[in-house]
Structure 1
Amino acid sequence: MIEWFFAGLAGVILAPTVAEVLRPRMGPSARQSAPGEFAELSRGVTHYQWLGPEGGPLVVCVHGLTTPSFVWEGIAPRLAEAGYRVLTYDLYGRGYSDRPRGAQEGGYFTAQLEELLAHLEVADRFTLIGYSMGGAIGACYAAQHPERLKKLILLAPAGMGHDLGPVARLVVNYGGFGRWLFMAMYGRSFRKGTETERDMPSSVPDIVDRQQNELRYRGFRGAVLASMRGILDRDLEEEHRTIAECGLPVLAIWGRDDDVIPISGMGKLAEWNRRAEHDVIEGAGHALAYSHSEEVLRLLRPALESAQK
């Protein structure tokens, strides 16, 4: 009897690992329907897409923790129609990009962006737009390379020391047990969270199904956990103060009803960078990039125009 008990316990413990190993890798077959192109970078393949006329003012868009570059589909084409040359790409661990292992600190993501820009031979200065975790990545990149940017635009940006709750703290702080708990629970939690957006108006077609499709592939869960333990596990006061000292123009756009990146982060950013400008979209939550894309575009247009002067 006791042998059956321990066998069952072992099965429960090993189940999340076995399930992850059995998931398909992101590879050529999964990429057959991907728009855009691919770059072989030092850590693996990165999927990217150009929109808009060559020679137009350059805008680079960085997505967040769990929504790949398709999150920009309600915004990037409209910027392209306005004459901007827009680059979107999938961060490692998401979308059609590879899922390399490693601690996902700021340098992990800024290196990917630096290598991609070098691969594409982008030498001109550009405006960087970062959404959610992409805002944290944007701040890290801007602090390292302010000379490359015309302006930094942040949508509901991470990096202000927000608290994701007791379960997230447990997952982040307790090594192997935290990883086991995350791998066992995250799929169900992610599906439940995204299902709440099923009836929400969205400028990105089928966004709930496309988000949930990320769970099919090996490495997505590990990438999310690595980011939670990495770039999302600290505030970016030093980076934002560096950006302020450099005089780089910054615009932050917040959702009034955001319960993931609370609007209280606006106060922290204002303290760290008194030159930063702020706008608030009433009635918007954390999904503002696709739930309120028209309002976001309305704020982006003058900000992008001012960056060209």
Structure 2
Amino acid sequence: MTWVLLLVAALIAMPFTIEWMRDGLSERYMKTAPGEFALLSQGQTHYEWLGPNRGPVALCIHGLTTPSFVWRGMAKGLALMGFRVLIYDHYGRGYSERIKGKQDAAFFLQQIDDLLLHEKVQEPLTVIGYSMGGAVATRFAAARPGLVKQLVLIAPAGMQHVMGKAATFARDTPILGDWLFLMTYPRLLRKGIAAEVGLPGSVEGITALQQTETDKRGYFPAVLSSLRGVLRDTTEEAHRAVAAAGIPVLAIWGAEDDVIPLAAREVLAEWNPSARHAVIADAGHGVTYTHTDQVLEALRTSRS
């Protein structure tokens, strides 16, 4: 009986122990970061400016699991279009601090507000959001319409997000959901990353970078917190506010996306009939880095 209890205790403790044993953000690791750091009101944020020293600002907001390096290919094209590109890591990802707290819309918007204030950015922005970043970007545009001159959404969350029963249970159930998520999701995410090895893309070594990210302490709890926060509800109210404010919206979709299905386009079209859409053939959810040239061309076309 004692052995059974010990085995059960070990099983319960296993995912939390593995999480605790993951590497923290060591000083040595932080020295490898490109760009700069800013100590903001919630914690330390890693950010980087790319492109010319002058020109219109494009703020790029990354998604749930892949930090700001996802923009490295896109940023080159945006720079050639004349943009000053500002990228940054959400808390809990990349080189930004692993801080506690519910990662809801207010949480993400505070980081953006702090960063723009720190960098003295006051002019209207082109805001580009990818996946979860699309939901964050939409809520930012709705809350700060005077700061946004164009909203570009790439495979955006907020309309339809495919989640299995286990993921939904983990999202909706405290404690036991944390255990289930930490027990199962790391393996599933790494399997998905491995499936993209060898795919052509604009970010050199992106799968290795993604795998390294999964080895960092605080990463998976941050992902779960976002699922419970900013990704729990739809962005309908925010999209309707963006439409009412007259902010131009371009939504770019992957035709073969199995995370944000193409059917989400029709939902957005209902919420904001004036939004423009572009569909990238043969593209999955990684469209930002797998089909970068086509995404940039859609953006160029929207500006002409």
* Structure 2 Cα separation of the partners of residues 135 and 92 of structure 1: 16
Superposed, 1:237-256 pairs within 5 Å as 237-256=236-255
Is 1:270 matched up with 2:269?
yes
Cα displacement (A) at 1:25: 1.8
* Structure 2 Cα separation of the partners of residues 291 and 51 of structure 1: 20
* Alignment partner, residue 260 of structure 2: 261
* Alignment partner, residue 118 of structure 1: 117
* Structure 1 Cα separation of the partners of residues 198 and 166 of structure 2: 27
Q: Which amino acid aligns with 2:3?
A: W
* Alignment partner, residue 179 of structure 1: 178
User: 1:261-298, CA deviations, whole angstroms, 9 ceiling, x for partnerless residues?
Assistant: 00111111000011111111111110000110010111
User: 1:149-201, CA deviations, whole angstroms, 9 ceiling, x for partnerless residues?
Assistant: 11000000000042312121111122111110111112211111111101211
Greater CA drift, 53-62 or 23-32: 23-32
Contact 1:68–1:94 (8 Å) recurs in 2: yes
Greater CA drift, 49-58 or 262-271: 49-58
Structure 2 SS opposite 1:301: helix
Cα displacement (A) at 1:81: 2.8
* Alignment partner, residue 236 of structure 1: 235
Q: Which amino acid aligns with 1:49?
A: E
* Structure 2 Cα separation of the partners of residues 170 and 54 of structure 1: 47
Structure 2 SS opposite 1:123: coil
Cα displacement (A) at 1:118: 0.3
* Alignment partner, residue 194 of structure 1: 193
Gaps (5+ residues) in structure 1? none
Contact 2:57–2:126 (8 Å) recurs in 1: yes
Superposed, 1:59-138 pairs within 5 Å as 59-138=58-137
* Structure 1 Cα separation of the partners of residues 27 and 206 of structure 2: 23
Cα displacement (A) at 1:79: 1.4
TM-score of the superposition, structure 2-length normalised?
A: 0.98
Contact 1:161–1:233 (8 Å) recurs in 2: no
Contact 1:50–1:86 (8 Å) recurs in 2: yes
Q: Percent identity?
A: 48
Structure 2 SS opposite 1:258: coil
Contact 1:160–1:236 (8 Å) recurs in 2: yes
* Structure 2 Cα separation of the partners of residues 143 and 291 of structure 1: 29
* Structure 2 Cα separation of the partners of residues 256 and 178 of structure 1: 32
Contact 1:255–1:281 (8 Å) recurs in 2: yes
Structure 2 SS opposite 1:59: strand
* Alignment partner, residue 225 of structure 1: 224
Indicate the RMSD between aligned Cα atoms, in angstroms.
1.1
Q: Which amino acid aligns with 1:53?
A: P
Contact 1:104–1:226 (8 Å) recurs in 2: yes
Is 1:165 matched up with 2:164?
yes
Cα displacement (A) at 1:27: 4.1
User: 1:109-166, CA deviations, whole angstroms, 9 ceiling, x for partnerless residues?
Assistant: 0110010000001111110000000000000100100100110000000000423121
* Structure 2 Cα separation of the partners of residues 249 and 209 of structure 1: 36
* Structure 1 Cα separation of the partners of residues 42 and 28 of structure 2: 20
Size of the alignment, in residue pairs?
A: 304
* Structure 1 Cα separation of the partners of residues 236 and 284 of structure 2: 24
* Alignment partner, residue 14 of structure 1: 13
Is 1:209 matched up with 2:208?
yes
* Structure 1 Cα separation of the partners of residues 70 and 199 of structure 2: 14
Contact 2:160–2:261 (8 Å) recurs in 1: no
* Structure 2 Cα separation of the partners of residues 99 and 113 of structure 1: 16
TM-score of the superposition, structure 1-length normalised?
A: 0.96
* Structure 1 Cα separation of the partners of residues 259 and 136 of structure 2: 17
* Alignment partner, residue 289 of structure 2: 290
User: 1:30-73, CA deviations, whole angstroms, 9 ceiling, x for partnerless residues?
Assistant: 11111100000111111001011122111110010011001011
* Structure 1 Cα separation of the partners of residues 124 and 178 of structure 2: 40
* Structure 2 Cα separation of the partners of residues 91 and 302 of structure 1: 29
Structure 1 SS opposite 2:214: helix
